[in-house]
Amino acid sequence: RPIEKNYQQYLMPAFTLHEINRNPNLLPNISLGYSMYNSYSSEERTLQNYLWWLSGTHQLIPNYNCREQEKIVAVIGGATSALSVQMGTLLDRYHLPQITYGPFDPSLADKVQFPSLYQMAHKSSSLHRGIVRLLVYFQWNWIGLIVFDDMRGEEFLREMREEMKKNRVCVSFTEKIPLSDRKNRETSEAFKSRILISEIKVIVIHTDTDSLTIMGDPPGFLFPTKKVWIATSHSDTTTRALYYYGFTFHASLFFSHLTSPIPGFESFMRKLIPPLTMRNIFLQAHRPSPLKCSDQPDIPEQDLYLPNASLKHLPFYPVDMTTSTLSYNIYNAFYAVAWALHEILMKRSEKRSLGNEESVLPHPWQLHSYLKNTQFKNILGEQVFVDENRRTEAQYAIMNYIYFDYYNDHLLYVGDFIPEAQLSQDFTICANVIVWDAWSSKIPSAVCSASCPPGFRKLPLEGKPFCCFSCSPCSDGEISSHRDAEQCKKCPEDEYPNEQRDRCLPKIVTFLDINEPWGKAVTAIAVSLSFLTALVLWIFVKFQDTPIVQANNRNLSYMLLISLSSCFLCSLLFVGRPTTASCLSRQTVFAVVFTVAVSSILAKTIIVVLAFRVTGPGSRMRIFLHPRVPYCVVLICSGIQVLFCAIWLGTHPPFPEADTHSESSHIILTCNEGSAFAFYCVLGYMGFLALGSFTIAFLARNLPDAFNEAKFITFSMLVFCSVWISFLPTYQSSKGKAVMIVEIFSILASSAGLLGCIFIPKCFLILLTSWKNNTKQNKNQRSSRSKNFLFLKI
């Protein structure tokens, strides 16, 4: 039976020929007529009808024409590519010009394969861009594709895949409808079932005007499902059936060629078709209320419905069904044939005598040379070219189909796609007026994986398209500021990520300040210990004539106490904002002062050993008991350390730097040691002196003397070495301000160990056991121990 929506194609030839035959400037004294045959959307019936038509009878007589009066000059037909191919293959044998009015197909423009075929539709090579723009606008990236299994379908698939890849859109499945089986119920049943049970919510279907009839009948099973269809053509009877059974359509968006109504055609139809039938055949035009898109400027209501109002100013638009795309192409096709005939006749009238009527009308094959060069301006003012190479790109209206009941539905004009317009103006959509379904106004979601929020990045899933992914938090020090980030980016060195890792915050500049808790604690301890050392020095000075002070080399003790007090105060160089001067002085001053302290202990230990080992008369080693020897030891050992520090400062001196890596949210101002090798050489030299003092003191720990301090020196060196041995791994593993704090406490701990182990016991004897600290008691103890010593020697 005839499809309702094709009634325009049935009426347009009569309207167009009526208009041409009344035009005195076009084919004067000649009337054009036509014969119409129904293709039934079937290749077999199409071939059968054309053979009948070529034979001029209902008997199929190939290569024989039974017509006596009719003069055939051209064939206008082919609403689909498949039908056009069937017709073109047959008509080309008779060199009959064939003008198709269906969608433009690049494969039909091949003049080697189809030399007698001409297309009237605008080019549709940008249609895939418009569809992808729509998908991207609604953030749909997981869709299905349905095409015919022909060259036009393959070309559309190739273009869509390339465009979708550019815009990060993926195809879940692709269905190809076989041309020969689209009427087969078994094939369509399987086809519909695969689509309806799929989880894909958005399906793009690129087929011809009657291709959706494969979905027109309900499947063997009915269940509610919601899918958004984006079609490149509109079939109202099909969508009505789908809505009527209520199992497929959630929303329908159609890309239809943007055409203007042909003047007089609507009134022509209303004269021929009763009003009741008109209501059943054509969709009702809908007059919109003056709603505004959120991104549209305010337009006065009275200006919305002006005849020349721009589509971009309207929130959504009534669909004018007076002229469909196919009807418009049929209109231009008849005029193309008429103008080609007019050109032939005008040239012949100049060369021939009008007495020979047989030569007035040309043969069909003679029309080709004129038809391919035909161009004219139609009644709408549009320049029409028959040559496909000069054809312009089609402009598309985006329509939303709304179904109320079987005889009450609407098409809303919700946007357009103008390929030849500027990039920012080629696509227009009013999403807030699209009717998705009767129960919800929420835009459907069609994604393979939910978007990754800021602070995360996408991780591709193995074996899945790039639209399918998982979300992984950004690593430390990295952020992602937008959704669906492919990679996280690092913050600049002077910034750090916030807790959500979606933006960078400026880092706080910090250092070991004297006003912060650690700075106050270090300062208090250092000053207290320095004061305690000064107090011990005062005790030793006050009791300098006592045996215990004199027996332990009074001057070396003074030197050691002064250096220890200075060591405590050296730790304050590590507190405060680092400067060039402080960076140059903190390690070198500490190294030299501490070397003096350790050298003093070494000198005291050497003197103790020499006093007991080099006592025999005539011993050559007695020269080392000279009073200046201890000072030489201190001077030489300290001089070597000064030389190390001078080389260090002369080659790779320490310098202030900003540490941006130790703490994520802070920039720590600290001192770079310049040369790590020089720094560890300085520490190693002090360790060497301490180890030497420990060894010598350990060997002299049992020497007889009332005030032999070798044991105290041994224990103090043991503490000293323990502190600095533990310092090395702790120093290497610490970061930021902790490095300075570790070194400060190592200085304080080792200095306090020397002070406590060597001088605190002596202060105890001086202050609390003064009866032991006298000359007579000292002599008795020394005499007794000397006897024991001599006894052991014997």
In DSSP notation, 393-453 reads BPPEEEEEEEEEETTEEEEEEEEEE-TTS-TTTSEEE-GGG----SS--SPP---SSPPPP
Q: At 241, is the pLDDT very low, low, confident or very high (cuts 50, 70, 90)? A: very low
- What is the maximal distance between C-alpha atoms in the chain? 169
The Cα 230–Cα 429 span in angstroms is 14
H helix intervals, 755-774: 760-768
Q: At 306, is the pLDDT very low, low, confident or very high (cuts 50, 70, 90)? A: very low
Neighbours of 792 (CB within 10 A): 8
Query: In the chain, pLDDT over 90 holds for what percent of residues?
Result: 18
Q: At 743, is the pLDDT very low, low, confident or very high (cuts 50, 70, 90)? A: confident
Q: CB–CB of 552/543 below 8 Å?
A: no
The Cα 637–Cα 643 span in angstroms is 10
Is the pLDDT at 468 greater than 60? The verdict is yes
Between β-strands 666-672 and 508-510, what pairing exists: parallel, antiparallel or unpaired?
A: parallel
Tens of pLDDT, residues 659-686 = 888 787 888 888 888 888 998 899 889 8
Is the pLDDT at 208 greater than 80? The verdict is no
Q: CB–CB of 120/101 below 8 Å?
A: yes
If phi > 0 it is left, if psi is from -120 to 50 it is alpha, else beta; for residue 479 that is beta
Q: What is the pTM of this model?
A: 0.65
**pLDDT score, position 234:** 57
The Cα 309–Cα 641 span in angstroms is 93
**pLDDT score, position 290:** 37
Q: At 309, is the pLDDT very low, low, confident or very high (cuts 50, 70, 90)? A: very low
Q: CB–CB of 246/227 below 8 Å?
A: no
In order of their start, the domains of the chain are 4-121+326-348+360-387 (3.40.50.2300), 127-258+394-433 (3.40.50.2300), 456-506 (no CATH), 517-706+755-766 (1.20.1070)
